[in-house]
Structure formats: C-alpha cells, structure tokens
Amino acid sequence: MDKRRIGTTALEVTEISFGGAAIGGLYRACPREAAMETLQTAWDAGLRYFDTAPFYGFGLSERRTGDFLRYKPRDSYVLSTKVGRLFRPVPEDQVPDHSYVDPLPFALDYDYSYDGIMRSVEFSYARLGLNRIDILFVHDIGTYTHGVEKTKLHFRQLIDGGLKALEELKTSGVISAYGLGVNEVQICLDVLREAPLDCILLASRRRVLFRSDRAGARRAFRLSAGDAGHTRACWGDGENR
C-alpha cells in the first residue's frame, strides 16, 4: 500500500488507516474477539497506520489497539492517539452517555493545558502498553464540541501551555509529530495562526466541510500542506471511523 510522509517528519503512513472508534464500542457493542479480528483484517490488508483515542470507549480502544500491536515489529507501523480529555473512575451507573456502548467505567473532564496534556500522554502510554506513540492529536477542541464560550477557554489553555507541552514531547522524542484531530475548519485556522502543526485530522466530515465551508476548508488544507511543511489526514465517513 502506498504511503505518505507526515510533514517534515520522518514518519510515513499508509494512505488508508485504521480508525479505532468502532473497537471502542461506538454506537454498538464490540466484543474483544471481534475487535482483535477486525484489527487483524486491517493488518492483513496492508494498513500500517492505526489511530485511536482515550475517548473511544473511555480507554477501551487504546487498550485493545495496544494489545494487538504489542506483538508487531514496532517500526512496521505508525500509531496516533489524542489528548484533551482526562478520565476519572466512577460507578458504572454514573458513566456518561457519549454514544459508546459498554465503555470502561470512567467520566471525563476536558483539559488542554500543559499539565493536562502531559497527564493524558502518561495515561495513554499506560493503557496502550507500548513504548512509542508516533503522533498526538489535540482532540475535539472547537465550537462543534464545546460551544463558543468554552472554546475560548480551551483555546487559551492550548495556546498558553498545551502547545508548549506538545513541542516538549516532540523535542524529547516522546512523540514524533503533533496536530489537531477536530471536526471543523475554523479552529484549524485559529491554531495555525499561533503555531505550526505537523498534521491535521479533519475527522470524518470532509464532504460536509466542503459543502458548508469550501473556502475555509481550502485555506486550512493549504496551510497544513505543501510549502508550509504540514500534512493533513482525513477520514471519509463519520460512521466508520
């Protein structure tokens, strides 16, 4: 399968990737056996870029992705996960409903600050059980998820400290690249005005983006590719991430 380079980094990802939301139980339960079989099918088809997130099943997707990849040669695949949410244990009857069926028993808090991102990465390494995360995406920052007022707070957290954390993680070799994993164009433009990014993942709504904000999408894509030295990564269908 053909590969594409991520910005100015040495990372190369397959043009088709595996999105880990479904194996975290998005919209319907996904037994462990089915998750492992699905991951193996993707591997057998030549996919070597695997994307997950703490949000997917409240840690379940990361655990399953790590369990599968643990016995694969580490340099044979690229792994991305996300930051922006921290989890705390709660009784099972207090687990919030976020479209995941049978998630792990946690509730979430949003945190895009320096400390929040550092803690999130530490927890992700523990869930994955792997010794390297290649790409970190700042997850779901923007008005699509938070509304206007809360987005202002989260944006300031990211600009005032979160981006520093990401750059320190990259400089120290904990990760190789970082970017945004979001559902909208405007937040990409806002962040790119403040700092360069290695990549942008416009999650699963590319067709909708082009219908609703063609000019904005084109601006974001130009800023995140080509002469700027960045790469975009796009899902095709939100129901099948």
Residue 239 pLDDT:
47
Nearest one of 121, 230, 231, 120 to 174, comparing CA atoms: 121
Nearest one of 116, 183, 119 to 153, comparing CA atoms: 116
- State yes or no: pLDDT of 207 exceeds 50: no
- Phi then psi dihedrals of residue 81, to 5 deg: -140, -170
- Active site (catalytic) residues: 51, 56, 82
Q: What's the pLDDT tens digit per position in 80-135?
A: 999 999 999 999 999 998 999 999 999 999 999 999 999 999 999 999 999 999 99
- State yes or no: pLDDT of 221 exceeds 60: no
Least confident of 25-29, 99-103, 129-133, 220-224: 220-224
> Quick one: CA dihedral 202, 208, 211, 213, positive or negative?
negative
Q: What's the pLDDT tens digit per position in 76-86?
A: 999 999 999 99
Residue 7 pLDDT:
86
- State yes or no: pLDDT of 217 exceeds 80: no
Q: What's the pLDDT tens digit per position in 123-171?
A: 999 999 999 999 999 999 999 999 999 999 999 999 999 999 999 999 9
Per-residue confidence band for 202, with pLDDT thresholds at 50, 70 and 90? confident
Write the CB contacts of 157 (distance below 8 Å, at least 6 apart in sequence).
111, 112, 113, 116
pTM comes to: 0.89
Residue 34 pLDDT:
98
Residue 169 pLDDT:
98
Alpha carbon distance 227, 203 (integer Å)? 23
> Quick one: CA dihedral 15, 20, 23, 27, positive or negative?
negative
**Which CATH code of 3.20.20.100, 3.30.70.270, 3.40.50.300, 1.10.486.10 fits the domain covering 3-7+14-240?**
3.20.20.100
| Overall residue count recorded for the chain in this entry | 241
Per-residue confidence band for 208, with pLDDT thresholds at 50, 70 and 90? very low
